[in-house]
Structure 1
Amino acid sequence: MENSEQTQNSNWVNKFLSYVERIGNALPHPATLFAGFAFGVVILSWIFGQTGLSVQHPGTGETITVVNLISQEGIYLMLTKLVKNFTNFAPLGVVLVAMLGIGIAEGSGLIGTLIRILVLKSPKKIITFVVVFAGVLSNTASEVGYVLLVPLSAVIFLAFGKHPIAGLAAAFAGVSGGYSANLLLGTIDPLLQGISQEAAQIIDTSYSINAACNYYFMFVSTFFIGIAGTIVTEKIVIPRLGEYKGDEVAEEMHDLTKEERKGLIYAGIAAFILFAVILIGIIPSEGFLRSIDEPENIFRSALMKGIVSWIFIIAAICGIAYGKGAGTFKNDADVMKGMGESMKTMSSYVVLVFFAAQFVAYFKWTNLGLICAVKGAEFLETIGLDKIPLLICFIFLAAMINLVMGSASAKWTLMAPVFIPMFMLVGISPELTQVAYRIGDSVTNIISPMMSYFALIVAFIQRYDKNAGIGTVIATMLPYSIAFLIVWVILMAIWLIVGLPIGPDSPLHYLPN
């Protein structure tokens, strides 16, 4: 009886997700869709520009109006900034530079060999948890998860006999959906802390917030998100995707050859030397990798700020060392060929990014995202709920705003001056408000086309499913989004009921002096 009920529930979930996928994929090609979005923003800017729609910026008090792009100034802006929108689109350079280095490592055979070792040595039962957990941990290094772990996880799953898109989804869920969980502090922590402190000082000029203010909650969240992501992958995503029947071939699982072992020794020596150089540059207070302006701030060092450069350098040098040892690289032409091959796989992504970059720029210019966020904040302010329901509503609002505004810091810059003072007046600490924001901001990352790396995920999935589109990504990732939201809301409610601090010197409640 119980099995029959579970089967019915599973069938219902599959039908719903298939329906979501069909609707999404019935839309035009993702690049065409982003072009349509950009055109739609232009039209909306004209419509709302005629109505005089405006809001007051909660931080500056400035009146924000809709900027009409169907005007002399708007047309000038669109025509003169077309190329700049494309070339300045942040993820484009990050992805292409990282992929050049990864292309060398892949062309030499290093990545394939490392995957074989992982598959041969790791228990199959825990590989899904390892992938999700590694995705969450990769947040410390910002872009690493998107450009390295997500595509690599698809290859790993294929080698384990699992559907590669399930591996890609599990990694993406950890990297992006689990953005507010980690065992270590990341670059986003001091960024949000600074914004929160400025907002808190609107009410209390002496209020101080430390960068680790959410650390305890984040640390515990890492394990819950890892488990939730594993369950969703194993119980929903893998069964729904079924057996992989695409063209990609799994790595052969034979033992390492003598040449491959020699290549690994060479790559290991190269990695050790690079690691030593990094330690020498970062450990001393005057190390050459430290920030010139703020040497005491590790997050502003050349290691953390230049993480993409390090991905390129490490992958390239270790790849060349492996190729030399294994005999897969005979000369420099072989190295350049590896870089060229990696760029071939990025061609569809480059096309997609061109239109996505225009859409994001137009949406920012028109102030439509800003106005949507302020209007949502004003609505929530009028509800009048107790602490836990109020914070849950705030999480949902942040999740909804995340669908139209991609940048976590940009949204928080807008929302913090509204909600932190408002919540302080009802006894909720700024640190707790920041936690609630980070939950909402994380859970819809994986289903938001506004997320900077969403276009890249579409391109990665199309490697394994030529017919995949935005609908495929959303349908695949939606169960993670819902599961993470439920887990985090319950965890936060329990945390509040028990009364645990959410970080070092970070209370749950605000008591005016």
Structure 2
Amino acid sequence: MSTAARTQEKPSKLVGALSALERVGNLLPHPFWLFVILGGIVLALSSALSRLGLSSVSPTDGETVEVVDLLNQEGIHQIISEAVPNFTSFPPLGLIIIVMLGVAVAEYTGLISATIRLVVSRVSPRWLTFVLALTGVTGSVASDAIYVVLIPLGAAAFKAVGRSPVLGAVVAFGSASAGYNASLLITGTDAILAGLSTSAAQIIDETYVVTPVANYFFAAASAVWLAALVTLVTELLLTKTTRTMVDDEAVDDEAVDDEAVDGDADDRKAASAGEQGVVGDGDDAADPFEVSAAERRGLRWAALTAVLCFAAYFALLFWPGSILRGETGALDSPLLTDVVVPIALVFGLTGAVYGVTTGAITSFDDVPKMMGKGIVTLAPVLVLFFAAAQFLAYFRWSNLGQIISIEGAGLLEGAGLPPLVLFAGLVLLTASINFFITSGSAQYALMAPVIVPMFMLLGYSPEVTQMLYRMGDSPTNIISPMSPYFALALGYVQQYYSKAGIGTLISLTLPISMTLLVGWFAFFALWYTIGLPLGPGVPVR
């Protein structure tokens, strides 16, 4: 039996377990209906538990918190009259729309795609894995488009230097998906999670606000750390695993052995290049990394624009005479508390300059059209937000969230768990739920109303809870067959290795997933022990 055939059989037990997991997960309704159902459950519980007189004593002010019946006349009137305000005042709604207005200009002018292609093409083979991984982790700034752009580029980049294109696709997919919640840049995810954390925190403190930069220091450092972990797993383990993953046309399976594979990397590169039409030595081969002269000129002007934007931002933030400084200094400046506006402006201005330079923008009308396209891509999120906003409002009005948080905090406090053990439990809980609810915003909208107030009562800030959620959420994305991008990645892998199946991809992504899950938490444990801030003005303790 060939080595490739044996490799294909290895993940059979794992495939069975994941298939069962997929069947269970498929029983769950769409997240929209999930929120509708949960909202109905909250309404029913509010009525039943109110009649039973359920209550708790708040440890913050000693007042008794009782369950409020939402199915009486007053409650039903409130449900109807507040439906629109619940949605329009939902904190993540405005944040993500504003960010997308700027990001859409950068995306539809081609700035983001050209930047990724230039970064990947310029790196030396020695640093290729790390740079590809870091690009993938930071690529969440392009939202889900990063998968479509980076996975084929990763495969082509590895193929161009004589390495397995399957490995390149896995590195791109693994870093972009498992590292989605870490980035060198502020992303739309930061805005969404901050808004949900704010809503949840206001169950305990109505004045509490979590900003989109609340986790920035740790998230940016994590991007480099996660890229290093992906590189380590790739070079020490996955490189050997993928050596035999080539189609018969490139290498005869029966003749493959480790020495032959090592010696014939260049032959495989030449043999497969013409077949795939991705990268090759011939003049007619398409080069997916090609950055035209116009694009290079646009990138230079966009980079200069970005530098000027950041210079102006920090000058306005820290200059003593700036009208945008807060009353007590930079930390309460609107440039930080409402940072989504500067973020949108930077993306919008750099994208516009790039578009004008390259010809992607030929009139003033092109910019709002691009913004409109960006908002269209948010339509599924906006539909989900409507149901989530109603559910969270019912949860808050009924006082069920506050009572659950009080009682849960009391149980955890009585258990006397050390902070890091408690944190690890939350990370593992999040990772487990993520197998079934792959939408990060939907999952956090469900968990935040419980875990954020509960941890606040235990003395841990919403920003810490939010970061713990992020660490548990993204590493398991790449091993969930329910993720739509899992199927996308598998399709790209099969272009180079037709025998690949779900088990093949799982066997390659599982080491990345587990390494990032454990390694990221270990990094946080060190960060927490040292006491470094999570973001501007956000202490970790």
Which band: TM-score by shorter chain? 0.5 to 0.7
* Equivalent residue number for residue 376 of structure 2: 344
CA contact (8 A) 2:138 2:223 kept: no
Deviation at 1:158, TM superposition (A): 3.9
CA contact (8 A) 2:101 2:375 kept: yes
SS of match in other structure, 1:55 = strand
Distance 1:39 1:134, change over 3 A: same
CA contact (8 A) 1:104 1:320 kept: yes
Deviation at 1:326, TM superposition (A): 1.2
CA deviation string 1:286-324 (max 9, x = no partner):
324322x22243xx2233223211222122222221122
Q: 1:280 aligns with which of 315, 320, 328?
A: 315
CA contact (8 A) 1:329 1:335 kept: yes
CA deviation string 1:430-453 (max 9, x = no partner):
9xx9999677544445599xxxxx
Deviation at 1:269, TM superposition (A): 3.4
2: CA distance, partners of 1:434 / 1:107: 35
How is 1:316-331 mapped onto 2 (pairs within 5 angstroms)?
A: 316-331=348-363
SS of match in other structure, 2:70 = coil
CA contact (8 A) 1:281 1:288 kept: yes
Paired letter, 2:151:
F
Distance 1:92 1:282, change over 3 A: same
Distance 1:83 1:337, change over 3 A: same
Deviation at 1:130, TM superposition (A): 0.9
Q: 1:371 aligns with which of 397, 403, 406?
A: 403
CA contact (8 A) 1:349 1:459 kept: no
CA contact (8 A) 1:376 1:397 kept: no
Distance 1:230 1:322, change over 3 A: same
Distance 1:20 1:231, change over 3 A: farther
Paired letter, 2:365:
A
Paired letter, 1:362:
Y
Distance 1:101 1:361, change over 3 A: same
1: CA distance, partners of 2:399 / 2:475: 22
Distance 1:347 1:479, change over 3 A: farther
Paired letter, 2:48:
I
2: CA distance, partners of 1:484 / 1:72: 51
Is 1:353 aligned to 2:379, yes or no?
no
Distance 1:400 1:265, change over 3 A: closer
CA deviation string 1:388-446 (max 9, x = no partner):
xx75146426875997876879956654554x5xxxxxxxxx9xx99996775444455
Paired letter, 1:279:
F
Deviation at 1:379, TM superposition (A): 2.3
2: CA distance, partners of 1:218 / 1:96: 22
Distance 1:62 1:5, change over 3 A: farther
* Equivalent residue number for residue 509 of structure 1: none
CA deviation string 1:340-368 (max 9, x = no partner):
22222222222122112211222222222
* Equivalent residue number for residue 154 of structure 2: 160
Deviation at 1:41, TM superposition (A): 1.8
2: CA distance, partners of 1:4 / 1:447: 28
Is 1:93 aligned to 2:94, yes or no?
yes
Is 1:129 aligned to 2:163, yes or no?
no
How is 1:446-461 mapped onto 2 (pairs within 5 angstroms)?
A: 446=474
2: CA distance, partners of 1:171 / 1:283: 34
* Stretches of structure 1 lacking an aligned partner (at least 5 in a row): 136-144, 180-185, 196-213, 244-248, 421-429, 449-457, 466-475, 505-513
2: CA distance, partners of 1:435 / 1:88: 21
1: CA distance, partners of 2:309 / 2:510: 40
Paired letter, 2:411:
F
Paired letter, 1:259:
A
* Equivalent residue number for residue 51 of structure 1: 52
Is the radius of gyration larger for structure 1 or structure 2? Answer: 2
How is 1:164-313 mapped onto 2 (pairs within 5 angstroms)?
A: 170-171=175-176, 173-174=178-179, 176=181, 227=228, 253-291=288-326, 293-297=327-331, 300-313=332-345
Deviation at 1:11, TM superposition (A): 4.1
- CA RMSD across the alignment: 5.3
CA contact (8 A) 1:281 1:287 kept: yes
Distance 1:168 1:356, change over 3 A: farther
Paired letter, 1:361:
A
2: CA distance, partners of 1:264 / 1:478: 36
2: CA distance, partners of 1:312 / 1:460: 28
Distance 1:339 1:313, change over 3 A: same
CA contact (8 A) 2:138 2:182 kept: no
- Count residues with an aligned counterpart: 422
How is 1:108-119 mapped onto 2 (pairs within 5 angstroms)?
A: 108-119=109-120
2: CA distance, partners of 1:156 / 1:270: 25
CA contact (8 A) 1:151 1:460 kept: no
Identity %: 29
Distance 1:309 1:464, change over 3 A: farther
CA contact (8 A) 2:36 2:391 kept: yes
SS of match in other structure, 1:52 = coil
SS of match in other structure, 1:332 = coil
Give the TM-score normalised by the residue count of structure 2: 0.61
2: CA distance, partners of 1:217 / 1:323: 33
Deviation at 1:70, TM superposition (A): 1.0
Paired letter, 1:350:
L
* Stretches of structure 2 lacking an aligned partner (at least 5 in a row): 156-165, 185-190, 202-214, 247-277, 279-285, 434-442, 477-481, 490-505, 534-541
User: Which deviates the most, 162-171 or 273-282?
Assistant: 162-171
CA contact (8 A) 2:32 2:387 kept: yes
Distance 1:394 1:409, change over 3 A: same
